[in-house]
Chains A and B, each alone.
Chain A
Amino acid sequence: MGLEFYEELKALVGQEGSRLVAVDEVCKPMIRHWCEAMQDGNPLYTDEEYARKSKYGSIIAPPTMLLTWTMPPLWPPREQPPHPFEQFLEKLDKAGFYGILITNVAQKYHRPLFPGDHITFTYKVTDVSPEKKTSLGNGHFVTTTFIFTNQKGETVGTQSLTVLKYRIGP
């Protein structure tokens, strides 16, 4: 793929889609299910009495759960206008970069999340690399950044995810 293709990709960087609303509000059952799966016994997440006496005054969600609140429902499909990120992936698929693999994850936590909080979020592609040779095949690294906001309009955290979109096979 030539320089022209990379320029086309770069033109899509920074385009933000519409704000999306989390399907579920932050809630104790989903927190407890997470703690079961992660084998995390932190009492701030599941011990009512401990959490009430803590500086938070209440149960909080594990901060690493950030992205979980915003995952799309399995059914029915979320009705939303197409996001620029999807165009990005489509463009790479059409050019033969079908493979996808998450390579980097970064989360920043600005505020604790409490049961009852309702998250909205936006995301956009913030970086794309030129075509690079990797052990899986040639590909582009694409970084997407999410900003999560609570019902008061406060930023609760951010996450960036880098995926490698690569050409499978020789």
Chain B
Amino acid sequence: MAWKYLYWEDVEEGQELPTVTMNITCTTVIAGAIASRDFTPVHHDRDFVQKAGLKDILLNNATICGFVGKYLTDWTGPEGELKEISFRISTPCFPGDTMTKTGKVVKKYTGGDQHLVDVEYEFAVPQGRNCGGTGTIALPTRGH
């Protein structure tokens, strides 16, 4: 398989990341919870959450972390190196939701010998913003 590589030289501040949609199912929520070893009932037990007054089970924070990582390195290709991510969770993501991921480059700079970009992203669900935040990624350069 041929992988695409995003080079630092080819990125501009203000550039938008691709919009990506993803259908969230019960399986997505539960597979994410179990793969991240999070057995909290709100992420797999519908009876439990409905008794607690919630509509349905909800995506756990580790799965959102995983989706952020995937969204960013799907954009950069495998040579993009995540340095940090930070986000705020505003509204839950439930099974049946379509999640729409958008983002843009807010800063392009060098730090030490690294070529870095800061991005902002937002994952939206029908009921509002599931999460929004920032990330820093080191990119390869054409010279190397």
Contact = CB atoms under 8 A, between A and B. Distances in A.
Given A65-B66, A102-B61, A37 B38 contact: no
B82 A38 contact: no
B78 interface: yes
Interface residues of A, number: 31
B36 A109 contact: no
A102 B43 CA distance: 13
A50 B77 CA distance: 13
Interface residues of B, number: 33
Interface in A30-51: 30, 33-34, 36-44, 50
B103 interface: no
Interface string B50-80: 0000000000011111111110011000100
B36 A71 contact: yes
A43 B67 CA distance: 16
A106 B86 contact: yes
B86 A109 contact: no
A63 B89 contact: no
B88 A34 contact: no
Nearest to A62: B69
- The DSSP consensus for interface residues of chain A is mixed
Contact of A62 (B22, B34, B37, B66): B66
Nearest to A63: B82
Contacts of B11: none
B69 A40 contact: yes
A62 B62 CA distance: 12
A161 B68 contact: no
B32 A64 contact: no
Contacts of A64: 62, 65-66, 68-69, 82, 85
A63 B72 CA distance: 12
Contacts of B32: 37-38
Given A43-B3, A71-B36, A38 B86 contact: no
Interface string B109-143: 00000000000000000000000000000000000
11 contacts: A30-B35, A40-B69, A43-B3, A43-B78, A62-B66, A64-B82, A67-B62, A74-B39, A106-B84, A106-B85, A109-B82
Interface of B: 1, 3, 22, 28, 31-32, 34-39, 61-70, 73-74, 78, 82-89
Interface of A: 30, 33-34, 36-44, 50, 54, 62-65, 67-68, 71, 74, 102-109, 161
